[in-house]
Amino acid sequence: MHFKLEGKDEQSSARAGTIKTGHGSIETPIFMPVGTVGTVKGVHQRELSEDINPDIILGNTYHLYLRPQTQILIKAGGLHKFMNWDRNILTDSGGYQVYSLSANRKIKEEGVKFKSHIDGSYHVFTPENVMEIQRAIGADIIMAFDECTPYPCDYNYAKRSMHMTHRWLDRCLSHLEKTPLKYDYEQAFFPIVQGSTYKDLREQSAEYIANAGAVGNAIGGLSVGEPAEEMYEMTAVVTNILPEDKPRYLMGVGTPINILENIALGIDMFDCVMPTRNGRNGMLFTAHGTINIKNKKWEDDFSAIDEMNITWVDTAYSKAYLRHLFTVNEMLGRQIATIHNLGFYMWLVREARKHILDGDFRSWKDKMVKQMDKRL
Ligand code: GUN
């Protein structure tokens, strides 16, 4: 993997760059649509590539390991072939889902024993087997196995957990060396900074992660319920330490406003279920604020979903029609909302990139943050 910095904003820490991998270029800042279990929910691959057009999407080790299971993905020739997606994929390690989804889990130095949220069966994730599973899935970017601490988290727990995440990182790295690639392209490995909401732990963790000398670095354990200001403070501490010449990925973030504020702090990559999950619940993100399309006020509003027409669905359908689809629980409603939201998120990061390269990111960001902080 190769990363080239192409522009830096003078009034913030925002950057624009390009990542190159075996499955093509990724222009940063980037938002990665979440395709948890081998599909971006509700969106065909053709709509995804033609209408939404991301350079990279996300998959999840935890989900793919449980279903369809690793051996099926190997038989298919990897996730790209299985799902018919020939652009980039990043897989999260399960270091988040194991804690948030499994009915119960026991965390030990060796790894995590967890109960599947599907059928209650027991499984163990270790730094070693998670590297093997990610080799088998075959994503272009794979993540370290970590513990994502909850919020709030007491200092001693956060400290112990951070050190364990660091030891797990060392185990991931030494096991990766021994685990050959399964397919004919490289996989980039990103370690993850933890440390909860404690500045000194975040500093220690960022230094440890930076020292690992990986081709890209991630920040985890944020957007887990802490106030946005605390998230921004932690991002700033960490981006000051992580190397400038490597991409920085803030995991699981966030709202359109969170994304712009974190771009201003030097983050290059984001993923979040918000545009897809909230879309399926009838929440639309726009440049002028959010819309709850299920609200009665849209019942006879025949104006376009979004006059900006970022994706074709925005002017092809009216708010009244989309509200109707949600009212009668038709799946087309969820599909339209998902395409609209992903289109909007992609537009947002592409605009951010343009403004970074044009030199007026800071004023544009401030205007957008104000403008988007509304319920329509
Ligand atoms: N997704 C959101 N936050 C995290 C995190 O802290 N770790 C991992 N592995 N994935 C995440």
Q: Is 255 in the same domain as 281?
A: no
Check residue 98 and give its pLDDT. 86
Check residue 187 and give its pLDDT. 98
Question: Which residues form the domain of 349?
Answer: 274-376
Q: Is 323 in the same domain as 249?
A: no
Distance 221 CA to ligand 1 centre (A): 6
Check residue 86 and give its pLDDT. 98
> With the C-alpha atoms ordered 278, 283, 286, 289, is the resulting torsion angle positive or negative?
negative
Sheet hosting strand 56-60, strand order edge to edge: 56-60, 88-92, 141-143, 188-190
Q: Of 257, 272, 287, which one is at a domain's C-terminal end? A: 272
Known binding residue 335? Answer is no
Average pLDDT of the chain is 97
**What number is the average pLDDT over the span 117-123?**
92
Q: Is 286 in the same domain as 233?
A: no
**Residue 221 in contact with ligand 1 by CB distance below 6 A:** yes
Per-residue pLDDT reduced to its tens digit, 123-181: 999 999 999 999 999 999 999 999 999 999 999 999 999 999 999 999 999 999 999 99
Whose CA is closest to 87, among 346, 354, 352? 346
Read off the CATH number of the domain in which 9 is found: 3.20.20.105
Q: Is 50 in the same domain as 113?
A: yes
Q: Of 220, 244, 272, which one is at a domain's C-terminal end? A: 272
Known binding residue 96? Answer is yes
Check residue 104 and give its pLDDT. 86
Indicate whether 103 pLDDT > 80.
Answer: no
Residues in the chain: 376
**What number is the average pLDDT over the span 56-62?**
98
Q: Of 223, 250, 272, which one is at a domain's C-terminal end? A: 272
Distance 267 CA to ligand 1 centre (A): 15
Per-residue pLDDT reduced to its tens digit, 274-292: 999 999 999 999 999 999 9
Check residue 95 and give its pLDDT. 86
Reported as a pLDDT band with limits 50, 70 and 90, residue 111 is very high
Q: Is 17 in the same domain as 124?
A: yes
Q: Is 337 in the same domain as 237?
A: no
Q: Is 40 in the same domain as 187?
A: yes
Catalytic residues, by residue number, are: 92, 271
Known binding residue 314? Answer is no
Q: Is 164 in the same domain as 228?
A: yes
Task: Between 345 and 116, name the one with better pLDDT.
Answer: 345
Q: Is 152 in the same domain as 278?
A: no
**What number is the average pLDDT over the span 12-26?**
98
- Counting the structural domains of the chain, the total is 2
Indicate whether 265 pLDDT > 80.
Answer: yes
Reported as a pLDDT band with limits 50, 70 and 90, residue 262 is very high
Residue whose CA is closest, atom 9 of ligand 1? 95
Distance 245 CA to ligand 1 centre (A): 22
Model ipTM? Answer: 0.99
Check residue 68 and give its pLDDT. 98
Q: Is 189 in the same domain as 151?
A: yes
Computed on alpha carbons and rounded to an integer, the radius of gyration of the chain in Å comes to: 20
Q: Is 128 in the same domain as 212?
A: yes
Q: Is 266 in the same domain as 324?
A: no
103: exposed, middle or buried (C-beta count within 10 Å: 0-12, 13-18, 19+)?
exposed
